Amino acid sequence: MRLLPRKVFPEQNDPCAAVCRTHNHRKRNEIMNLSKPQQEAVTYMDSPVLVTAGAGSGKTRTLTAKIAHLIETGMDSRRILAITFTNKAAEEMKSRLTAQTGLPISRFPWVRTFHSACFKIFKEHCQILGFAPPVQVYATYQQQKTLKDILVARLNLDKKFVPIVASEISHAKNSGNPEPWLAAKGKAGHFLMTDIYSLYEKELLARNAVDFDNILFLTRNLLRDHADIRSHYQGLFDYILCDEYQDTNNLQEDLTGLLVKNGRLFCVGDDWQAIYSFRGSNVDHFLNFMQKYPDGRIFKLEQNYRSANEIVDIANHLIKHNRDRMKKKCFSSQKGGAVEIHDFMNEREEAAWVVSKIGSLHRKGIDYSQMAVLYRTKFCSLAFEQALRASGAPYQMLGGKGFFERKEIMDLNCYLSAAVFPKDDTSFERILNVPKRGMGPGAIKKIAALQSETVSLQEAARLALSQKIMAPKVYSALDGLLNVLDQIRNMKPDEAVRHILDSVGYMAYLEDFTKAGSMDFTQRRENIDQLIYSTSQKDSIVDYLEEAALVREDTGDDEDDVKKGVSLSTVHAAKGLEFHAVFVTGCEENLFPHWKSTESPSGIHEERRLMYVAMTRAEKYLYMTRADFRKGQYNARSRFLSEIEAAMR
């Protein structure tokens, strides 16, 4: 039976309706500009759809054209849920949709990441689970500090267990069934992982906070366990679209299944580029789509608009060595690509040749920003950094520390968080002595002694002031800090940041911290300027902090991350990018494929998919290199080079 979209007729006095009608001709032109396979996927409405989209095949264009088509057929844009995996992708999609439909961005409230969409749902119903609005979303720093307090301070375990336990809890939640997962992991020290998990979740609830993984986990539980809530959102969403479907984990797959109704589902992705199993992604959801949706249909986008056919053809031959994959024959109408393999004695010779070739290509007119050096693991970058520095060629590192993970941003965000979330002990503890206020260990110990299960560190500090148990100098410093928090609590976020900077002398502290006048200080000052701009886009501190916490989904560095010279990057960090010339380096056994992945066929399959991703970043020139000796140790040639060479003969 054909699933016709629900017809929604805009009211006559809705100005957006008139704007949308005037853009219908643009929408039809957009459809006509799609390839035939893209058009077929966009216009098909009869059942659930999976679009298997090869590298460079116009996946995002097809996805946005589908949404525009749904709107033209009568669907209300506010009732379309479109899931992306990064905030940057969501913003790009909304920008494209406004251009195609003429509707303002505000008419696409559900073009979001999984975490953003789920938190929007969770906030509406959090009281059912014992939380009270506003709920705080813990950043990685706050999560790690909370676990450290439990493991080290309470259970007397070594701090080395903190990242291990954090990782296991994350994997457990994303599995969709954390207790059995953790039970199978046994113990951390003398304590059962399940008991540690219970303590951690109890602490989060006491602090009225959730960690990043809880956003999905608790929302899934709400939808699964409460039929009225599930029915409400199934009725709200007329259509669901999911980008990068090959990267979904079990929890995200559960959520999609709970929200979709009457087969109104459109998933896009490429199992050949599934490279995130270490994060819990499960490519089987993609491969088994037709088993879950027997009446579904698969569309294949096989034309690569990015890379020359010589590169596409060899990448096809490589991925054929993976048996568990969806079959497609990718091709390109562009010709004249170059694929070369080079062997060297050691990493210094390898780096010297790569940098020499970069110089040669640059002299031929290729901009430095259109070239990339990719590697499997971060340690490989050193030789290339040294060689590029010696040559004078500009370069940049991709996938570095995220904006919200930088010290100065974390400091200022902790002030904001402590102001609006008085139970956030982690943030309050961080700012007690930033800048230095003479709050020594003795003073902090006095405050901590007033803490209890119901009294937070900040509340204990206020008690310490009221009881006058602090030395006069410490009393004055602590009183000043708490006054700042009280003053900024109801300010606009950007006003609050400026007030913090002025009232606590943060810039003077930062100058001293970075040695005034250094480039490091200049960059940190520019980061603070960017923070002020970002906060000015939000009406409240809570709204700003929510967005900042959810941005951890995005990987990579600055917004203009590929504008500053030759890009040095891991293959994972380069996914989604494209360059005129790409050097895939370190093609050696135990490095690429990585030694951890050689223990199972599935591990090798993922490493081969990773090599496929690396190769298909290249538009025109693809160079693959390896060294006999790296870090003084002999390494055999990567098996992938043999597979590639067989295709080149």
Catalytic residue set: 59-60, 243-244, 273, 617
φ and ψ at residue 305, rounded to 5 degrees: -95, 0
Q: 259 and 228 in contact (C-beta within 8 Å)?
A: no
Residue 200 DSSP SS3: helix
φ and ψ at residue 341, rounded to 5 degrees: -120, 130
The pair of three-digit structure tokens given for residue 20, joined into one six-digit string: 């949308």
Using CA atoms, how far residue 455 sits from 150, 402, 444, 450, 582, in Å, is 17, 33, 15, 8, 56
Q: What is the torsional sign of CA 625, 628, 629, 635?
A: positive
Neighbours of 544 (CB within 10 A): 24
Q: Which residues contact 637 (CB under 8 A, 6 or more apart)?
A: 343, 587, 588, 589, 626
φ and ψ at residue 517, rounded to 5 degrees: 90, -10
Partnered with residue 342 across adjacent β-strands are 625
**DSSP sequence for 563-630:** SSSEEEEEHHHHTT--EEEEEE---BTBBTTBGGGTTSHHHHHHHHHHHHHHHTTEEEEEEEEEEEEE
Q: What is the C-alpha separation between 352 and 345, in angstroms, rounded? A: 11
Q: What is the C-alpha separation between 75 and 382, in angstroms, rounded? A: 53
Using CA atoms, how far residue 621 sits from 307, 335, 366, 564, in Å, is 9, 11, 11, 20
The pair of three-digit structure tokens given for residue 183, joined into one six-digit string: 């039970």
Partnered with residue 584 across adjacent β-strands are 374, 624
Q: Which residues contact 509 (CB under 8 A, 6 or more apart)?
A: 434, 435, 436
Q: 54 and 272 in contact (C-beta within 8 Å)?
A: yes
**Beta strand pairing call for 338-346 and 265-269:** unpaired
The pair of three-digit structure tokens given for residue 44, joined into one six-digit string: 């098909």
Partnered with residue 579 across adjacent β-strands are 618
Partnered with residue 498 across adjacent β-strands are none
Q: CA-based angle 570:571:573, to the nearest 5?
A: 70
Per the rule left: phi > 0, alpha: psi between -120 and 50, beta: everything else, 602 is alpha
Q: What is the C-alpha separation between 299 and 51, in angstroms, rounded? A: 5
SS3 of 3-57: CCCCCCCCCCCCHHHHHHHHCHHHHHHHHHCCCHHHHHHHHCCCCCEEEEECCCC
Q: 409 and 393 in contact (C-beta within 8 Å)?
A: no
The rounded radius of gyration (Å) of the Cα atoms in the chain is 27
**DSSP sequence for 208-245:** TEE-HHHHHHHHHHHHHH-HHHHHHHHHH-SEEEESSG
Q: What is the C-alpha separation between 550 and 122, in angstroms, rounded? A: 14
Q: What is the C-alpha separation between 596 and 609, in angstroms, rounded? A: 15
Amino acid making up residue 60: T
Q: What is the C-alpha separation between 432 and 415, in angstroms, rounded? A: 10
